[in-house]
Structure 1
Amino acid sequence: MIALVLTMVWARRGQAVVLALLTALAVAPAVAAPAYVRAADRVVAAGEAAAADLPERTVTIGFTENAGQIGDPATDGGGQVNLSSTGGALVSLPGFDYVYAAEYPTVGIERDDRYRTRLVYRQDACAHLRMVTGRCLIGAGDVVLGEQTAARLGLAAGDSIALSSATFVADPEFQMYVADGAPKRLFVAGIYTVPEPAALYWGRQGYFAADPGDRPGEPAFVGLGSMSTMQRRNVQVTIDGSAGPGAMGVDRLPAVRAALDQLHRDVADLGGGLTLTTAMPALMHRIDAGREAVRAMVPVPALALILLACLTLFLVVGYGAEARRPEAAVIALRGARWWHRWWLATGESLVAVLAGALAGVVGGQLLVTAAVAVRYPGVGADPDPASLRYAPLALAAAALTVVLAQRRPLLRPVATLLRRAPRPGRAAGLLTDVLVAALAAAAVAQLLAGGGVAGAGAAAPALVMVAGALLVARALGPLVARFGRRSITRGRLGSGLAGYQLSRQPRSVTVFAVLVASVAVSGYAACAADVASRGRQLQAGLGTGADRVLTVAPIGRTRLMNAVRAVDPDGVRAMAVVPIVTPESERPALAVDTTRLAAVAAWPSGSDPARVAASLRPPAPDPVVLRGADVALDLTAAEFRAGKAVSLDAVLTPLGGEPDVVTPMGVLRDGRHTYRQRLPQCMAGCRLNALKIAGGAAVLDVTGVITLHGPAAGGGDPARWRSSPGGELSAGPDGLRIALTGLEGLPEGVIVQPVSTPYPLPVAIAGGGRPGTITGLDYRNIPITIAARLPALPSAGSPAVLVDLEYADRLAADGAAATGAQVWLSASAPDDIVARLSDQGVKVVGDVRAEQLARRLDRQGPAVAIGYFVLVAVLVAGLAAGVLVLTAAVDRQRRAEDLAALRVQGLGRREARGAVLWAYPWMVVLAVVAGTAVALGGWALTGWALPLAGLEPPPLPFPGRPGVAPLALTAGTLLIVLLGAAIPAARGVLRQLR
């Protein structure tokens, strides 16, 4: 019996090979999905670890140790901790590198006692320093100094210096470092520079951050012997652990997590001032979130492919069984027992299914390995036997599908089996369609209820697309039949016979449903890949704000604008940006130099940045500018009662780029006086931003009149000035009259400003609502008018507000430096832009590039999971082509016989050829069109539930609809592939017809 089955397989080996391939496509996802998840885990962990900042990749334990040998236990048992032995707990973190360090402040070489010299011992420091002159540390008494420090202090290799341990005295009137130990003579062995100051080796100690007094951060490095033998009070001792290559790999994460938790417990138990500092849990959280995203998304296409593969197997096996009904009838007539009939009917298919399952097990893992090697080289797919856990279930499902597909020919009477035309069985088919549609509706309802793509929600896209394909196929049958009748009536016999062939054969309708579902699944995968890709591009571009964003140290706002304009006079490469600190209840705001906004910033599609920039910067009156090293205000104070005098401060912005100045002009005396301040920075001119009038502490009911005379009054026209509440402006006989009506409830006093900006301030806004005011740079509310509305603002997203930086700065009355200020750069910015900014006094402390963020997003869980969608789209295309090839091979003989009979009855050769060529190729064309429509419908119902925007998406208008071009490209590719299978199948029928 086995030999007979094998003979049957060999006789129809072409069909057996195709059936085995289809089975492999059904089993491969059961292996590929868990294999891809495991590979994605490695990709996500490696990507997050590579993109993590230093605090997330390091662990530091330390404490302050009292006098004595460093690392020696305290002799008095006063709760001290021996870090050199306690550090063994840190060493238990697998895959980490460790560095022992100690430091304390010293004095002796700095000329200003307000500043100290950091004396540092760091294990193996010489391997990470580059000596400019001299040599590195050898013995006790050696010290190496930084290049800039040595130049500033006039020291060189070979000099001798004396350093003493120091303590900082924090008395309000006496803040300085004083020696608290005997000086120690040290030999300057060499002068160093640091090739990689941001390397993990240096840990979190900030050795090279700027020191107070605008001094570069350059510690004095010594050996352990020198540090231990110097007389001192306290020593800050640390051990820094940094993640080595692969330390945060997915396989090591459980051990690292357990060791870190144990370290936290050990530090808490030891006490004694021991501290543990790390941001590693944040990195682990992102890795876990990325892995969860992969596990949520990968089952979506996997279930669709498995469901489609089982449906395909059911179709092709049933199709073959219908074609072999005469064989089944002969076997039944010969009186074979029922188990022999079942074996002979199913054995041929089961052999092919078993061979295909084995191929699918191997092919699924190889396919994932190849895909990961191409997309993420160097990570590795890491084959694991656990990937095979679902393979037996897939094999069992395929075998059960084969048995169920054979049931009808085996259960029918012999007379029915000998009939040429099969019964359509429409009632059972309609029941199946209704059942699938109901399941799809239930799955979509779960998504809408907030269930997400976990659990049954993962099957929602697959069920929706299969249900849509079944409904389209059922609706298309009558339409094709009507087309066939009309074609025959009009004399187009070829197309009419093709229509009848497709409409009268129930299996043809099922083939069409499978093709539609296959195209829909591939189209859905293309939608997901396109939306995810454009979302990452949006987040990397619009979310960053520009091609490159530099964060700078605190600096005056006007000084920043002047510096940026100096390094980019053309206004196309750099732009000054200052984030405005707003309350949590208020939308975030950005102040930008709009003169270069259109050329530098990234913009949402559909907006006109040049128009927006122009609307934010309409013409405004010239500011009031005071010139000369002596700033003088000619003022008259009158009508102030005794004890109710006020003081006046002038807020000035030097036009030469120096920091803003809030200069006190003093307490105003009755009568007319000139109030002066010596301000050399105003020699080139200072813009008068505001006059701040304040009363004495706890002084109530302050009223009076101040008259501003001379050029500073700007002609005394009250229309050229504005006042905050508490002041009333009018024209005096020889100047600007400021009447104070009361200072109660005004902690900042009355602020009088020249009108040098539009007012209310024009803003661009993203998000709904019409705010009447925003918080200004000096934290005061500013009236605004909405000049433009945008879907989102660069960097800030939506809701947010955008204002002109120069106008916002003129309205500010604080004179403070901007914290968190940025310089946005376009793609054309020169490579030495940071050095150019440094020459202008702008210190860069952070550098973020859009391409860096894009690479990081490409390694996060959602982006990695999309790779499986693409892989499934390729497999589904092969599945659909296999369906066409196998059904055409099974149907070829019968169709040739039918057409040959019609030829005998007078059907012309041309019409017979048309009947063949109109069938499968036109089925493919209709399937591609209908499948694309089903994909769009499935995406509209379920695509929104996929977490494509990333782990913590910013408030940006992420795309929800797929683009036309990717979907058209996918449909065109599928059309070519399927026509490549359909046309040879049609030609095979024509060859049989000859």
Structure 2
Amino acid sequence: MMTLVLAMVWHRRGQAITLALLSLLAVASAVAAPAYLIAVGRAVAAGQIATASTGELTLTVRGVQDTTTGGGSGDEFTQIGGALIALPGFTYYYSRETPTVGLEQTDRYPSRLVFRQDVCTHVRITAGRCLFGESDVLVGEQTAKRLGLAPGDAITVSAAIPDSSAGVPRYVAAGKPKPLVVAGTYQAVRPGETYWGRHGYFVSGPDVGPGEPLFTTSMTFPAMDRTRTEMSIDGIAASGTLDAGRLAGLRSELNRLNDAAAEVDETLQIDTDIPRLLDRIDEGRAGSRLLVPVLAVPLVLLAGFSIYLTVGYGAEGRQSELAVVALRGARWWSRWWLAAGESLIAVLAGSVAGCLAGQLLINVVAAIRFPGIGQDADWSSLRYAPIAALIALLAAVAAQRRQLTRPVAGLLRRIPAPGSGRVPFGEAVLLVLAVLAGGQLYLSKGSLTGIGLFAPAFVLLVLALLLSRALLPVIGRAAARALRRGRLGPALAGLQLTRRPGASRLFALLVAAAAVAGYAGCAVDTGVRGRDTQARLGSGAERVLSVEPVSGRQLLAAVRAADPDKTWAMAVTQLSSGGDTAVTGLVVDAAALEKVAIWPSDGPSARTVAERLRPVDAQPTVIDGPELAVDVTSSSDKLQLSVSVSSVSGETVVDLGRLRAGRATYRQRPQVCAGGCRINGIQVGGSGRDKVKAQLVIHSLGDRWAVSGKAARLTTGPEGLALELDVSPAYAEVARLRPAGVPDPLPVAYAGGAPEVVQGLADDPVRMTPAAALPVVPSLGRQAWMADLGYVGMLASGTRRAAAAQVWLNRAAPADAIDRLTAQGLTVLDDTGTAAVRERLDQQGPALSLGFYLLAAGLATLLGVGALVLTVAVDRGRRAEDLIAMRVQGLRRGPAGQATFWTYPVLVTAAVVAGMLVGFAGWWLTGWALPLAGVNPPDLPLPGQPRAGVLAWWAAAILLPYLVAAVLGGRDLRRRVG
């Protein structure tokens, strides 16, 4: 019996090979999904590690020695060393820092005295030598120029503590003076280098200093009086430490380090963003585990359907053989083996080969798609192979059940029996499952859990079956109409599609295969467009430079100095509206908005918004420098006057000291005004503890000023600005003047909702008025606002650093744009933008998972083509007999040729077009639930539908292999008919 079955396989070896290939594709599809998930998991980890920030590649152990409280001795750092050794793969740097006074003339901020291990290898010595002995210090190059210091000079500093007793924070000496020697001057080569950790050594500003700490040796600290010393150990991950294969154990190692630090000293703190990196990798992998099964499930079901169809088609082609076996009275098991054995051998052979083929396919795809990532030797990818093989075998048996149970008369019938057009039980079950899965997906608001994960698969298959059932009768009526009109060729082709056994199932399979491929095309194109939107609108500009925190005024002045024509750079910062419902806002140089920002296509234009944000050109008061002279008349000697000034070289508050009664001129030469500066605000306060009521006239600073707050009333006259003051020094009450000319309330463009009041722009809350409604604010999303940075800089009389200082560049930015900005006093920390964001998005789980959708589209198309080839091979014998008989009865050669050549091309064209419609309908019903936007996507209006032109090209690419198979099959049939 076995010999006979093998002989049958050899006699019809073409069909057996085709069926084996279909089984191979079925099992390979089941193996490919988990294997691809493993490869994507490694690629997600590698991509996130490659684009990680400094904080996500480092860890910092912090401790404090405080002589005033007795906290910390320094021994705890020795004890934590064992736990750090247990965390291999990190390079550790030790540092100490204490605040000092005595170097700078101001007491508003301390000078940072820092020891950092290996500092000389990470800075450029511009004069003198590196550190060697106790009391050696390196001074920043700009600080040395400003203070007139050179190598070999002596300086004296003292440990400092903050003092707020006067109402304004000051730093005062709290230890014996320590003489130091300037060993050399330095320049930070790469301030954003990972080596510097999270300490912000080079952050500058009017309230933190010039951003150039004093570097010294470890021997200096024990030799000086100190009050507070901050100690830290920075661990920097070496190359390969955060490898994809080690991530599983890294989180537990960090937890053990935290536990060890808590046991040593509760005051020890471990700062690291590595857990955030691990969380982002986990989120990306979780998204992949949702996206890949969405198309893997219909692919496997389609593979089972293709085997069911092709085996059934082959069994129908062998019905005469089975009828002879039944007539001879063969026992049921012999009849069963002769009927099913041929197909089962082919399916089993293809299933075994499919296990290897699926893994090899993913290995090749991973090597091309994820070069350098590598592939785990993981047999877990084969866990679904037995299930897929079992499904294939069951489909093969189920497809032949009628041939095994039919009587001889039924086996000899060549057209469907009456009543065979009823809806099969399997299709009814599939319809119920589609309704249940789609309902759960909708009610759970897109949660791909439970049966909702299979909603796309069930919806696609049900729609394909329903549409094919609806189309075939239409084709049948068209064929009958053509027959009545005497058009024999089209009529015979149409009747062949509708009257042959299994034709409806073949059409449904081809529609389903095209639907799976079409759904994949919808997902891929929507994902590509979504990532492009995130990269462009999410960035805001082609390039985004993050700079060290500076005030908004300094940022604006520096960018305008680098780009005076406002054609390629724009100063940008972010602020929160404050309050319980805080909304982030974008504060920009409106004059450069049209040229630089990437703007949404819907809504008002960038030029219109810029004009509404800055309706009038308000100008600040400026002096040519280098001397600041203020001519005032005071009625009291208990007033203190300070002036806020800024330029591209920085910003500071100039204390003019206590005023004398009567008229006098007060002069100072602030460093920032050496080349001229702007006056941003004037502050008048009292001295002592009693309330001060007085009159003050400012003669020399023009008349374009406005009062902030209620501590003063402003009038103007021929003598200058007249102030009536009522301030209370005990409550740190002051009167502030800011430049006039800024509209009140401030114009604001908004998306979502316009804030009525914004805090943080100035010393007092600022009222806002809506000027333009936007669909989205670039970089921030659909719940944000936008204001003009020039106006904002004129509102604040105090000095404020921008929380997120940026410079946006367009494509016209020169190659030396960063050098030009650096020359204006800005320090660039990061250089990102559209290309960098797009690269990061392309390395996240959703983008990498969509590679499987392309693979699934190819496999689905191969399944459809394979089923078509096998169907043509089985069908051509009967079709040739029928057409030859009709030729004998007088059918002309032309109509016979049309019936043979055009049957299958018409079939596949109709199926692909219908399948693409089904795929798009399935996408419209379920695609909204797919997490295509990446990890923590911004609130942007992402596209939800693919482009029609892309789908047209996609359909043509899918149709091409079908047409090739159909045309070759039609030509072979026409040759047989003659």
TM-score (norm 1): 0.85
| Offset at residue 344 of structure 1 (A) | 1.3
Q: Deviations over 1:603-622 (max 9, x none)?
A: 22335644334432564265
Closer, same or farther: CA 182–772 of 1 in aligned 2, 3 Å: closer
RMSD: 4.6
Closer, same or farther: CA 622–240 of 1 in aligned 2, 3 Å: closer
Alignment of 1:588-737 (within 5 A): 588-607=584-603, 609-617=605-613, 619-620=615-616, 623=619, 625=621, 629-632=628-631, 659=651, 678=667, 712-713=702-703
Q: After the TM superposition, which of the residue ranges 314-323 and 622-631 deviates more from structure 2?
A: 622-631
Q: Deviations over 1:915-938 (max 9, x none)?
A: 123321111211222111111111
Residue 867 of structure 2 corresponds to residue 883 of structure 1: yes
SS of match in other structure, 2:583: coil
Please say if residues 563 and 837 of structure 1, whose CA atoms lie closer than 8 Å, have aligned partners that are also in contact: yes
What is aligned with 1:837? 821
SS of match in other structure, 2:573: strand
Unmatched tracts of structure 1, length 5 or more: 68-75, 638-642, 715-719
Please say if residues 106 and 163 of structure 1, whose CA atoms lie closer than 8 Å, have aligned partners that are also in contact: no
SS of match in other structure, 1:219: strand
Residue 85 of structure 2 corresponds to residue 91 of structure 1: yes
Alignment of 1:425-504 (within 5 A): 426=420, 428-450=422-444, 452-504=447-499
1:823 to 783, 797, 807: 807
SS of match in other structure, 2:502: helix
Alpha-carbon separation, structure 2, partners of 1:736 and 1:136: 54
What is aligned with 1:248? 242
Unmatched tracts of structure 2, length 5 or more: none
Give the letter aligned to residue 582 of structure 1.
S
Please say if residues 502 and 509 of structure 1, whose CA atoms lie closer than 8 Å, have aligned partners that are also in contact: yes
Q: After the TM superposition, which of the residue ranges 193-202 and 388-397 deviates more from structure 2?
A: 193-202
Give the letter aligned to residue 551 of structure 1.
S
2:835 to 837, 844, 851: 851
Alpha-carbon separation, structure 2, partners of 1:522 and 1:850: 30
Residue 16 of structure 2 corresponds to residue 8 of structure 1: no
Q: Deviations over 1:884-910 (max 9, x none)?
A: 111111111111111112212221111
SS of match in other structure, 1:240: strand
TM-score (norm 2): 0.86
What is aligned with 2:277? 283
Alpha-carbon separation, structure 1, partners of 2:680 and 2:171: 34
SS of match in other structure, 1:576: strand
Give the letter aligned to residue 234 of structure 2.
D
Alpha-carbon separation, structure 1, partners of 2:527 and 2:660: 65
Alignment of 1:286-301 (within 5 A): 286-301=280-295
Give the letter aligned to residue 403 of structure 1.
V
SS of match in other structure, 2:538: coil
Please say if residues 55 and 204 of structure 1, whose CA atoms lie closer than 8 Å, have aligned partners that are also in contact: yes
| Offset at residue 960 of structure 1 (A) | 1.0
Alpha-carbon separation, structure 1, partners of 2:893 and 2:38: 58
Give the letter aligned to residue 253 of structure 2.
A
| Offset at residue 974 of structure 1 (A) | 0.6
Closer, same or farther: CA 28–651 of 1 in aligned 2, 3 Å: same
SS of match in other structure, 1:360: helix
What is aligned with 1:991? 975
What is aligned with 1:517? 512
What is aligned with 2:25? 25
Residue 959 of structure 2 corresponds to residue 967 of structure 1: no
Alpha-carbon separation, structure 2, partners of 1:759 and 1:85: 60
| Offset at residue 247 of structure 1 (A) | 2.4
Closer, same or farther: CA 20–851 of 1 in aligned 2, 3 Å: same
Give the letter aligned to residue 902 of structure 1.
M
Please say if residues 35 and 383 of structure 1, whose CA atoms lie closer than 8 Å, have aligned partners that are also in contact: no
What is aligned with 1:764? 749
Residue 859 of structure 2 corresponds to residue 867 of structure 1: no
| Offset at residue 163 of structure 1 (A) | 10
Please say if residues 368 and 381 of structure 1, whose CA atoms lie closer than 8 Å, have aligned partners that are also in contact: no
What is aligned with 1:362? 356
Give the letter aligned to residue 659 of structure 1.
E
Alpha-carbon separation, structure 2, partners of 1:591 and 1:268: 42
Please say if residues 107 and 163 of structure 1, whose CA atoms lie closer than 8 Å, have aligned partners that are also in contact: no
| Offset at residue 838 of structure 1 (A) | 2.3
Closer, same or farther: CA 676–929 of 1 in aligned 2, 3 Å: farther
Q: After the TM superposition, which of the residue ranges 323-332 and 484-493 deviates more from structure 2?
A: 484-493
SS of match in other structure, 1:838: helix
Closer, same or farther: CA 786–615 of 1 in aligned 2, 3 Å: farther
Q: Deviations over 1:248-283 (max 9, x none)?
A: 334322322222222222221222744433222211
SS of match in other structure, 1:429: coil
| Offset at residue 484 of structure 1 (A) | 0.6
Alpha-carbon separation, structure 2, partners of 1:692 and 1:143: 40
Q: After the TM superposition, which of the residue ranges 96-105 and 466-475 deviates more from structure 2?
A: 96-105
Alignment of 1:897-976 (within 5 A): 897-976=881-960
Alpha-carbon separation, structure 2, partners of 1:112 and 1:175: 12
2:340 to 328, 340, 346: 346
Alpha-carbon separation, structure 1, partners of 2:388 and 2:572: 57
Give the letter aligned to residue 598 of structure 2.
A
Q: Deviations over 1:568-587 (max 9, x none)?
A: 13322100113233125143
Alpha-carbon separation, structure 2, partners of 1:906 and 1:823: 83
SS of match in other structure, 1:788: strand
Give the letter aligned to residue 23 of structure 1.
S
2:562 to 561, 567, 590: 567
Alpha-carbon separation, structure 1, partners of 2:623 and 2:195: 52
Closer, same or farther: CA 270–750 of 1 in aligned 2, 3 Å: closer
Q: After the TM superposition, which of the residue ranges 126-135 and 526-535 deviates more from structure 2?
A: 126-135
Alpha-carbon separation, structure 2, partners of 1:886 and 1:399: 17
Alpha-carbon separation, structure 1, partners of 2:646 and 2:231: 45
Q: Deviations over 1:722-747 (max 9, x none)?
A: 9988999999999999999999xx99
SS of match in other structure, 2:935: coil
What is aligned with 2:521? 526
Alpha-carbon separation, structure 1, partners of 2:116 and 2:715: 68
2:330 to 336, 358, 364: 336
Closer, same or farther: CA 834–393 of 1 in aligned 2, 3 Å: same
Alpha-carbon separation, structure 1, partners of 2:376 and 2:277: 23
Please say if residues 765 and 790 of structure 1, whose CA atoms lie closer than 8 Å, have aligned partners that are also in contact: yes
Closer, same or farther: CA 116–587 of 1 in aligned 2, 3 Å: closer
Number of corresponding residues = 956
Alpha-carbon separation, structure 2, partners of 1:816 and 1:394: 65
Alpha-carbon separation, structure 1, partners of 2:550 and 2:837: 26
| Offset at residue 883 of structure 1 (A) | 1.5
SS of match in other structure, 2:435: helix
Alpha-carbon separation, structure 1, partners of 2:234 and 2:693: 62
SS of match in other structure, 1:497: helix
Alpha-carbon separation, structure 2, partners of 1:210 and 1:738: 34
Alignment of 1:204-283 (within 5 A): 204=198, 213-214=209-210, 216-217=212-213, 219-221=215-217, 238-271=232-265, 273-283=267-277
Closer, same or farther: CA 20–261 of 1 in aligned 2, 3 Å: same
Give the letter aligned to residue 99 of structure 1.
Y
SS of match in other structure, 1:420: coil
Closer, same or farther: CA 573–350 of 1 in aligned 2, 3 Å: same
Alpha-carbon separation, structure 1, partners of 2:794 and 2:106: 39
| Offset at residue 939 of structure 1 (A) | 0.9
| Offset at residue 973 of structure 1 (A) | 0.3
Closer, same or farther: CA 28–683 of 1 in aligned 2, 3 Å: closer
Alpha-carbon separation, structure 1, partners of 2:683 and 2:116: 51
Alpha-carbon separation, structure 2, partners of 1:172 and 1:127: 39
Closer, same or farther: CA 272–414 of 1 in aligned 2, 3 Å: closer
Please say if residues 159 and 174 of structure 2, whose CA atoms lie closer than 8 Å, have aligned partners that are also in contact: yes
